[in-house]
Structure formats: structure tokens, C-alpha cells
Structure 1
């Protein structure tokens, strides 16, 4: 993520300029040893070939890179770069490692500077297209000959999805270097995260969104130049010796006794980083822990750690300049690490691993990724109101929509709970319908709302006793009680009563999506959490983001924790124009999190804002369109989303699902088909006819319908291999099962699965040569290696070699 200047500008392959600096000396955080894991660089010691670097790409001088048997640091061979040009550099780049935003990678390699100058080790981060580099960090070889280890460390930026290791001889360097034994280690993304930790949220302009500023001695403003990473940073300018300046982050939950390590990057010589703990009533526990920025120029990483006291419930970070000093310091990239953070877990139960995210992916080469929009499937009787429609507006529910839920009904068929809003008889309430096939819906048994508030998801109670159904809901955005979520229960799905004596069960505002996870026996609520003390049009509301809470009884919920937010990629992907002088940015309006096989699938509703009343704290009148994407997670806190493709293809302009898509909370598997119910408005959010006349938007809000999209089982996203084929390698697996099946459409090609040991070496009897090729389109066929039909004991890795077509998932059972 570094953007500092190196002594030279280095020209590398793919025609991009590299400007960066050394991070070799960065300290690891206090508890890092317990979380650190290994990543496998393909062919790390260049042992797979005796003539060239088999899995590494070369750019620069022809013939400058070769594999040699002497000198070597380990194994039998090493890679030599012989740079003989004064105006052309030479680079040797590894295959792409899958990387998750927030993951901290450390690349190391051994280099022998045989003669002359040269020798740089780079860690590079790349966008999803594989050719656009986001940032890079580097370290240079020291003088002299003999083997030395170089190290480069960096955090994966929000808009990067892969990383590569690069051995490099600079443009102005002439000489010979030999490289060997490359390694990459990782610290996984942290479980405790500061909202807007990089100050990238643009909602409030120069004010740091989701931070509380107190500046009697000067100012704390967001700047768009000189950031440590990304586009923005926070500049604290203290010009008074009698008044301090501080910016306090949103509070995040902690557990008594856990050790929290806070870090931030600072450029300046005044100010301090504080780590603060608070009690349940919001009072600060004294004294806070702090560290001063210190002397020296350029960006410095400052770190402070402390154990959470026994009465602590939350922690916050404060960026502070006291009243005794004056000066200016720029801050960026705040990170919280916890002693409760966990490393990568290699155990795999019986379940499907989708290639939606990269939690189980180590590396890949010569493949592209894509999300596959569902097929719109509707009631033929409703074709006149839109393709894929299964529920149109009725007499009392003129704008039916999901967020809501569809569940199998006892005894067969399906039940739907949906939000009804016609603006008169029912503003935000719950409608109910039944179906025998999930396509033709009947609401004649309930010709009015079954509950006065819209459903934030309905879940079936898995217990044999108690109510059959639970629901979370808010009281609507215009209610005095809109800053909480409430629970309700029902025995038949039609008659609902309040739980918890009518008291709220979670703090939050507006949208909530609740699901049930049978693998952990927990209810999962994905909520909005606006800052405490929010008052419409008075206090800053902050951006729309998603927080996570869980419960085992539907009444007692864990404290909400930050889970998902839009990032720079979403902002850059907006194509709709904004009115003159208006900025464009994305927020996440809501997101169900649904257990599916070995992962959770997130369905983020990405709101592309093209007009915002920035003078108001209330974001309600924001205008723009909304689309649905796809993400995956193992822990509900860190999400992988390497492809930003639409999960539901928007309809043509003017159609019912062109403007504002949202989803239900269930993915229903019916035979070999997966169903997702969704709803949409034809127009843009909060767009009225008057707004259209004023040029603030193009299509008025309204004309909602409920629709259905379907997929063949597991086929939401894939790796695609074109001409020449490609490969995907998993991270280490220690599965509880031994039978491997795959979901693949190889087209005119084939798929072979090779089993590797933890170090990436093919296991005898399970090589690609031993593997039986799969040549047919299949939703699930067993993989074999000659007479072998079961996997060897773990830890293992799987390498999928695909000559053409799409690879969607694998299952170990």
C-alpha cells in the first residue's frame, strides 16, 4: 500500500511505472506469531524446470533470465538475472496469489548479488483485471556478494484481489543476481475493524465520516493529496498552544482481557495515537494507552497495545494533538489487531466450496473470473408486467417488495413474507402469500398486512418447541423508534406478536436482514448502525454500511460489529452520470448473509449515489440506482469479493427492475436449481417527478414487483479458462471427508485435478497424469485417479487444471 518515492522510478513489465519504498524493517504486531500462516508461491525455488522459470513470467531483455545449478541457496537450481542493458530493466514475476483486503503479506527471497548492481524484491498488489497494479512495496539488496534475505511487507488494499512477488533489476542497474527460495507469509484480515479507517468515505466532504472531531486548537480535515494509501487521509493541524485537536473513531466491541493492538501511519512530528476503552455506559476507562508520533520525516507506523480491562465493552482509537504543541500531522490506515484474531483454518467439513471468494484459493494462472447473473423465471400470467415477475401490485399492496423471505411450508409448498408499501393504507408493513410451486403465488388468504412493520427477514425456529417463526424488523425510517430493531414471533406465519416485552433487541436503523445458520445453530442479523446520538438533519449519519450480530435465542444478541462496506472499486464502477458538480460514491444499503455449503454468501445491495443532500446529515433523500452483487466469508466479518459483477442483471431502462434491486434472505435449493427472490423499483431511490424536472435524476421511484432468478446448483461464479487453459490451486485443506466431486462446464476442454502436499509437491498416484479427465458438463461428478477414488489424508492442496470452460465449485464428503 506504500506510495513513497524510491530513489529511481523503475519501469516494469505491463507498461506501468513503480514508485515505492522499502518496508523490510516494519515490525510485526505483538500477537502476530499466533495468527501468521504460510502462503505458497508457485514454484518458489524454480525447481519445476531446468531451462527457465516455469511458473514465473519474464519481462525486459531477451534471454536475461535463466535457471542455473550454481550458485543455489536451497534445492538444485536457482533463477539468474543477467542485466546487460543500461536502459532496460529485467523482471521475474510470480503467478498471482489470491489476496483479501486487509490481509498483511510478507514476501521474502534469497538473493546473491554475483556482480555489478541490482537486486530489488517487490510485493505487488493487483486489481481484478490482473493487469492494473494498485500499489507495491520493495526492498533493495545490500552491497557485496553472497546470499542475503530480502523482505517486503504490505497490507492488501481494498481495491486489490491478488498479489505477486517480483525479483527485479532496475533500469539503470547492470549486473547479475541469483534468486532462490521465495516465501510469503500472511496475517489474515483483523476481526476488529475501525469504520472508515482509511478516511476514504466521501459522504461528508472534508469532515472524516464516522469519526468525532473536537478541534478548539485547529482543524481535522480529510485531504485528497499525500495519502499513505488510497485517495484520502486525515490532516490534523494544531495552531494553538491552548487548544487541542482530536479525531475519535467509532467504538467497536471488545471482550474483557483480550489484547488490542492499534496502529496507524503518520506523517509529521506532532501528535499521539491513543487506544481507549469504554464501559457499557460510554464512560472512558482511565488512563488510556498512547504512543507519540516521534521525530523523523516521511510516513511512520505508530503502534500501541493494551489489554481490555474487566469492565470494558468497547474500544476506540483517538488521533490527538495536545494543547501544548503546534504542528501538522497527516494520519492514514488505522488498524486494530486482537489477541482473539484467528489464523487461516484449513479444516474442511462436508460441504461445497464455491469459487465466489478466495478463502480457499491460494493462487491461479491464466484464468479469468466472473459472476453469473441468474435467469429470470416468472409467472407467465404476469408477463405483461415484466420478465421474471412472480408477485405484482395488488389492491392494498401496490408496491410489494422483498426484503423479506421465502421458506418451505410445513407439508409442502412455500410461504412468502414481503414488504408492502403503497404509501397510503400501508407504508412499511408485512404482506403474506403462499405457493405450491414457488412461481404462482396466492395472497387471497390474507388480503391485508399481517404485521404493521416490514419484515427484516423471517427464520424458521429449528427447535421442536416454541413458535414456528421469528422475525426482525424496524419501526420504519420516519418513526421515533427507528434507531432500534425489534423481534416478533408467530406460530402460523400470519399472526405475529412482539417478543422481549416490546423492547428492542439490537440497536440499529432502517434495514436489517436476518437468517439462520444451521452449522453453528445461530441466528445472524446484518444491520445498519448509524452513530450513537443520530438525529435526522442534525447529527452526521455516516454512510450506509453493514454490521453483524448473532443470537442463539433471537432475543439476546451480540454487540454489532463492522462487517461490510463499499470500497474504492464500487465508487470507480459507477457508470450513471451525476448532476453537474455532484460527486458519485457507493454505499451498501443492506446485505443478507446466507449459509451455503462451506461459506456464507453475502448479497450486498450496492447503492450507487449520484445525488446527495450533502448539507443534511440524513442520507435518506440520496438518489441513484442499486444493484446486487455477491461476496463470501468464513466468519461473517471478512468478505472476499474478487468480482464485482451483477448477481441480478438490471432490466432495460424503464422496466420494473431497472432502478433499484434488493433481495430476499433465502437461497432455496429445489432439485438441481437454486432460487433467489428479489424485488425492484423501476426508478431511482428518492427520485420524484420534481427531481426529474430539476435534473437530479432521470426516472421516478415506484412500480415495484417481486421477481425470481434461478441458477443451476452452485453456478453463481466461476474461474474461466480460455485458449491455452489455466490452473487454480487451493490453500491447504485437512478435510473430514475423502470423496471429491466437482461442478464444472469444460466446454470443448477437460478438467484434471492434481493432489499436492502442503508444500505444493504432487503426491505420487495423484498427479495430473494419474487423474481421469472430466470432459462433460456436470453439476457434481466424482474425481478419480486411475483406480483411486478417495483423497489421501491431509493436509493437502488441490490443483485444478482446466483446458477450457468454467469451474464453479468442489465438494469434499
Structure 2
């Protein structure tokens, strides 16, 4: 079995890189050292083989030589003698999370010729390269360190490094000692930071434009990354132009660093702090773009002053100048941003996201849609149905919740909506088995507003249940969320004296996290004028708040949004001339094992008759996906396949799927309750006649899908098998169990130290192969059944079948 090592990491430090001759090094931003960490590149020093570049993909005349090497006893040699073809050396793929900043370095010695280029590349789940940054190696001789830095795009899931001699770069070069440092995705995000949201056309969605001196519009050419950028044109010497971001919560004592990429020399970046009433604290921090051509990174940094609650970013062109500046890729960094956490609890680590994954090869990601399980008595209304509407609760749906009932059985709270007797109210049902549901205990609504999730009170005293909901009874403040409580699940009363507890509008999904003893609310925060209660406008995105008492909630922070990869995946037709884009209608965030699982409701909009006003009339279908997070703010979604398979056209769950707020584990089975409408959102018969959609909205049911424990998504090994290596782990437990179905093959687990070296006694050769389908088998290495002391890495070698999760307890 081939091994790989990360040798002498101290010698590969990026901050002290020396550059001479014409070697180009990108500027290093001075981040707090606690943010950064090293990624492990397979065979980074070319030490595994004396002749070939093991674990690297080569093209052209590439070999491994013993001398000269930058360190150790191996280096890669590119001998490009062709005038019509280049030569290259590409690493294996590292798992990458959108928003993560990677800084790749390599040592290069030019023997002859031009020296070539060093690339940092980003790849999507389909295996296509979506972005790359490069640095010319230059014509100097002797060992030089070359650096390339880039931020992982939203549509990328892996990264590689590439040493490349182009067609025009004939010559011989040596390459050695690759290193990749990472800065995790920022915890504070500017909504629509890349100007990719499409709801408002050329207007920058979620930004406030003030343009008496010209214009600020979104353009579709010349972007720094992605598909779009903001173009600010100032044609007046007496009036300015600016675009102001939405406010992002901050805390006193942290230092915020705002950056944006600019092309043009007349603009300025403002970092602003604001009080709770929205007023700006003077003076803001301003940094001018400055002279020069091409894209330049502009950075402003300042400590959060006393009295500030939020920060905003302003892209500005002042009165005294005229000109045009392109802006893109706005980023907020904080001195309180957290680095990757090695500590691992005793819950299952699922291979849904890549927060714990270092690299993988020979494996593909597979989402396993749930199996539809229904009440046999309701088989006539559709597969998987467990609740059908009646007279007062026609079109029953979730968002809602199913919880175990005291003494056994289950309770369900759902939204009943028929538009007349009960527009949007809370229905209630009970069940002994979770499949057959009885509504006779509540023959009418139990609350006049639909549930945004029900949670059980973890305290031993007080009401048994809490609920968040929109639009409090008779409230003059409709654009808010309210709290309610109940002792029995059927009789509900308002909390907080009937006053709202959280800003927001429409859908909210609330859950409880027992690991942190917090309630979690995932809400909609449209750019609405709460003081005036104006109708919301802008895209549907998900913001996160937490609470320990269900009344006092943290300020909502941007958490989850659709991106261009979602837009590109839409296949449903749109009316002539209508753009298609995706938004996230809602998303529960559920603690499951060692991570949070997000269930984003991805709304594929194919007709938006009023994109600048209330988005309610938007038409399109909706599907459910799966995401993973460690902190509720940074989400990993490498696969975007459906978690719930839509029914056939015309069936009850073809058009509009949404989920409940709970994943219930019953024995070795996990249950997710969901609801769906047969048709498309806001699609009426008249709309069908007009060609705006195909299937009218309605015919809703509540259904159930199930999985074997942990088996939502897997790494799948095809012909030839493959492997996945974790990032460093410092577990609290010592026993490793795996959930896997190796099919005709076998799974072996090798333990590595933090530098990637196999731990003696825990190599793949020592490992007892796992050859049977198991939901939880203890891994052993001969007589050893306990792990060595961390930090460690785990390397899973799978020759066939699927690997779903692992647990260290």
C-alpha cells in the first residue's frame, strides 16, 4: 500500500517566503494565526517513489529525481521539449468548502527555459474546473518558493495544485515540497457578496444604491469570479454614487477586516459600524482603490467601537471624481473567526459534508433518497402518505414537527391551509406508531397561526412545548416572529406578553440542540422596513439565531443561500424571456451526531411576475437537499441531489416539497416527515392557461421517508476502489465504529499521525477487513480495538460499496 507523508512542515512556512528574480508571490494578508491551518497534500515531497510521481496526475515528460531536491531525497522534474504541447503535474483532490481561502506554495528550480506556472485549481462535483488562480514561476534560477492564493467558489467542492509548463514554456524545471494553508470560511458574511443573486436583474439585490452622480448596476462580463460584478459609474463631480450592504451583527471587542476586489481607480471601500438604531458611528474607515489596472484587493480593518451592534460595507465613488469601478467578492473577516476544530465528540460523523475530510480519490459522492413509507389506509391518495386533509384542514403541510409523546407514541403539529376556514393555522394529530395518524383529538385548529417548528422544553419545570410562528394574533406588527407555549400540545398561549421575540417574515424553522443547550431558529430576513411593516422584497435566504430561553434571541446572521450552481441545475422550462434562478425557501437545522444537518428547500423559480416587490407570486417547483455544518454558519453541500425523490408528474409530491423540523431515530431507522403540493408555487388555473406554469398549486399531503441509521449520503467505491482521509482529529473516545456496506469488497481503516505517517500497529496491513454490511462495527487492528492518542487522521480504504459514517466513542 502506497503511503504519503507531510515532511518538515516548519520548513514550508508561507509567511516567511523569500522571492527573488521574476518569481511572483501574491501578497499575504495578516490574519490572526489561530485562523490558519495546514492541509495535507498527498506525496507533497515526491518521496513515495524513486521514479514516478505517485498520487499525482502527469502529462508529458514528468519524472521523479533524487537530486537536486529542495529537501529529502526526491523532486519532480518536468522536461518540456515540445513546441506543440505542454507538460504538467497535478495533485490529488483536496476537499474544499465554499468561502475557504487556500494558500498553495511550491518550491521551484528553473534549470532551463521559462519556468512555467503554478496553479491553484477549483473543481465542481461533476469534475469540471470552475476557477483557477496562477502565478508565473519566472526566469530566475535556484530554488524559489512560488505562491498561489484563492477563495473556494460556491460551486466548487475540491481543489488541486498544478505545476505546468505551457506550450510556450519549453525547458526543464524541478518542483518540490508542496504546502497548502487554509483560512476557514468567515463566520460573518455579506449577503450577495459576489453580486450573483438574480432576483432584481441589474439592480444589486440586498444592497442599497444611492446614485445621484451616476449608476450602480450588476453586469455579466468582466467579473473577478463567478458570473457577475457590480459596476459603479460616477459621471458627476458634484454628486456621489454608492452601494451599501446589509447590516451584519458584530460584537464589541472584535476587529473586522472588510475586503473587496476592485478594477478601476476611482472607487473607495468603507467599513462602517452602526448602532442599534441604524445610525452610523463616525468616522468610518475608508481605503481608496488607487491607481493601477486590473483587479486589486482593497482591504479596510478596524476594531468594533463601543455601542456598535452591526457593520456595513459601502462601495463608493465620491463627488470629486468621475470614472468607473468594478467591484466583486466582498468578504468580512473577524478576529473572532474560529479555526478548524480538531475535537471530535462521541456522535456519528457523517460523510454528508467535507468539514472533516482532507482528501479523497477513486470515490464518488452518492445521496440516498429516503424510502417512502405510508399509511396503508391512505394508499389510494399516494405512496408514502401518512396524513390526508379533511374539511377544515385541506392541504395539510409541514413546516411542522413530529415529536415522541410522553408515555409513548408520537405527536404531530402541521400547517393546515385551505384558504378559508383555516388559512394558515396549526393542526394536531397523534399516533402510536408514527405511520397511522389520528386527528380525532383535535377536530379543529389548535392555534390560529401555522407552526414554525415545535420543540420540547428541556427543563424539568415549565411548559412542555414551545413554538415559533409568524404573524401574532391581532398584531399590528406582522413582519415578526412570535413565541407560544403549551402544556399538552393542544392548548397554546402567547409568550413575552404577546410581543414579537425575533424579526423575520414568513417561514421559520426552530429546533433544539442538546449538545449546546440552545434553541436554533433558521429564519427569513428579507430586506424589509420593519418600522413601516412594508412588504418584503429580495431573495429568500436563511439566517440563524439562537436562544437559551426561547424569548431572547441573538441577532440573525446570514447562514445559507442558493448560488449559481443551483441556478444552473434548473431544468424546468420558463416562460419566454423569463430568467430562472433558485432561492432557499426555508431550511431546518437539526443536530445529528457530531454535526448539524440542514434540509434546504431549494425553490427553482421559473416565473417571477413581481421581482422587486412581494415575491409571493413566484412560480416554480421546490425540492429538498442535504447539507452539513459544524457551526450553523458555514455549510458544506458537495452533492446536490434530491434527498426526497419527487413523485411522477401529477402525483401529490411532484411539485413542492418541504420538510418537518425533526429527524426521528426509531431503533435502527431514521424518519423524516415531509409535505408536498402536487403543483407549482402560486400556480393557478389561469396561470396554466397563460403558459406561466404547468400544474396548479394544491392537493397537499404529509408523507414519510425513512433510512437505515446514518445512511443519507456515502462515499461510493466503483471499479478499482478508493480512499478518503480525514483532517486531524482529537477524539474524546477511543473506540472506532463504522457504518458501511462494502458489497463485494472490503473496508480497511488505517490510522495516521497528524503529519500523515502511518502509526505502527495501525497500518492498513494491520487492519482487520470489514466485509459485511454493518450499521456499526468496531474497527480493529489485530488484537487492538482502541485508538492511539490524538491528534490522528483516519484513512478509509474501500474496494467496493459505500461508506456512510464513523463514530469514535
Indicate the SS of the match to 1:286: strand
What's the counterpart of residue 170 of structure 1?
A: 166
- Residue 89 (structure 2) aligned to one of 55, 75, 92: 92
What's the counterpart of residue 355 of structure 1?
A: 351
Q: Which moved more, 1:674-683 or 1:108-117?
A: 108-117
Indicate the SS of the match to 1:351: coil
Call closer, same or farther: CA 1:477–1:510 in 2, change over 3 Å: farther
What's the counterpart of residue 477 of structure 2?
A: 481
2:445 corresponds to 1:435:
no
Equivalent residue runs for 1:221-620 within 5 Å:
221-475=217-471, 481-533=477-529, 541-614=537-610, 616-620=612-616
Segments of 4+ moved more than 6 angstroms: 476-479, 534-540
Alpha-carbon offset, residue 80 of structure 1: 1.0
- Residue 181 (structure 1) aligned to one of 172, 177, 184: 177
Query: How many angstroms apart in 2 are the aligned matches of 1:708 and 1:51?
Result: 56
2:108 corresponds to 1:122:
no
What's the counterpart of residue 18 of structure 2?
A: none
2:170 corresponds to 1:190:
no
Contact persistence 1:730–1:797 (CA under 8 A): yes
2:790 corresponds to 1:809:
no
Residue deviations 1:541-583, cap 9 Å, x none?
Answer: 1100000000000000000000000011100000100011100
- Residue 105 (structure 2) aligned to one of 105, 108, 114: 108
Contact persistence 1:477–1:510 (CA under 8 A): no
Alpha-carbon offset, residue 113 of structure 1: 1.1
- Residue 682 (structure 1) aligned to one of 657, 678, 682: 678
Contact persistence 1:536–1:618 (CA under 8 A): no
Alpha-carbon offset, residue 29 of structure 1: 3.6
Call closer, same or farther: CA 1:478–1:527 in 2, change over 3 Å: farther
Contact persistence 1:24–1:153 (CA under 8 A): no
What's the counterpart of residue 67 of structure 2?
A: 70
Alpha-carbon offset, residue 324 of structure 1: 1.1
Contact persistence 1:490–1:496 (CA under 8 A): yes
Call closer, same or farther: CA 1:258–1:536 in 2, change over 3 Å: closer
What's the counterpart of residue 205 of structure 1?
A: 201
Residue deviations 1:95-120, cap 9 Å, x none?
Answer: 10000010000000111112222332
- Residue 702 (structure 1) aligned to one of 695, 698, 715: 698
2:797 corresponds to 1:773:
no
Query: How many angstroms apart in 1 are the aligned matches of 2:456 and 2:684?
Result: 38
Contact persistence 2:251–2:309 (CA under 8 A): yes
Call closer, same or farther: CA 1:476–1:530 in 2, change over 3 Å: farther
What's the counterpart of residue 138 of structure 1?
A: 134
Contact persistence 1:674–1:712 (CA under 8 A): yes
Residue deviations 1:203-228, cap 9 Å, x none?
Answer: 00010000000000000000011111
Query: How many angstroms apart in 1 are the aligned matches of 2:532 and 2:672?
Result: 34
What's the counterpart of residue 52 of structure 2?
A: 52
Structure 1, unmatched stretches of 5+, are 1-21
Contact persistence 1:522–1:551 (CA under 8 A): yes
Alpha-carbon offset, residue 141 of structure 1: 1.6
Residue deviations 1:607-637, cap 9 Å, x none?
Answer: 0000001454110100000000000000000
Query: How many angstroms apart in 2 are the aligned matches of 1:114 and 1:425?
Result: 82
- Residue 630 (structure 1) aligned to one of 623, 626, 631: 626
Query: How many angstroms apart in 2 are the aligned matches of 1:650 and 1:730?
Result: 33
Task: Count residues in correspondence.
Answer: 788
Query: How many angstroms apart in 1 are the aligned matches of 2:539 and 2:341?
Result: 32
TM (norm. structure 2) is 0.96
Alpha-carbon offset, residue 30 of structure 1: 3.7
Query: How many angstroms apart in 2 are the aligned matches of 1:406 and 1:437?
Result: 12
Query: How many angstroms apart in 2 are the aligned matches of 1:478 and 1:544?
Result: 26
Contact persistence 1:106–1:153 (CA under 8 A): yes
Indicate the SS of the match to 2:282: coil
Contact persistence 2:368–2:713 (CA under 8 A): yes
- Residue 756 (structure 2) aligned to one of 744, 754, 760: 760
Query: How many angstroms apart in 2 are the aligned matches of 1:149 and 1:477?
Result: 66
Residue deviations 1:495-538, cap 9 Å, x none?
Answer: 10000000000000000000000000000000000114169997
Call closer, same or farther: CA 1:536–1:438 in 2, change over 3 Å: farther
Q: Which moved more, 1:556-565 or 1:31-40?
A: 31-40
Residue deviations 1:259-309, cap 9 Å, x none?
Answer: 000000000010110001100011110011110010001100000000111
TM (norm. structure 1) is 0.95
Residue deviations 1:447-481, cap 9 Å, x none?
Answer: 00000000000000011011100000002899863
Alpha-carbon offset, residue 178 of structure 1: 1.2
Structure 2, unmatched stretches of 5+, are 1-21
Alpha-carbon offset, residue 171 of structure 1: 1.2
Query: How many angstroms apart in 1 are the aligned matches of 2:341 and 2:322?
Result: 48
Indicate the SS of the match to 1:773: coil
Query: How many angstroms apart in 2 are the aligned matches of 1:477 and 1:77?
Result: 73
Alpha-carbon offset, residue 28 of structure 1: 3.7
Query: How many angstroms apart in 2 are the aligned matches of 1:57 and 1:549?
Result: 45
Equivalent residue runs for 1:730-741 within 5 Å:
730-741=726-737
Indicate the SS of the match to 2:566: helix
Query: How many angstroms apart in 1 are the aligned matches of 2:28 and 2:494?
Result: 49
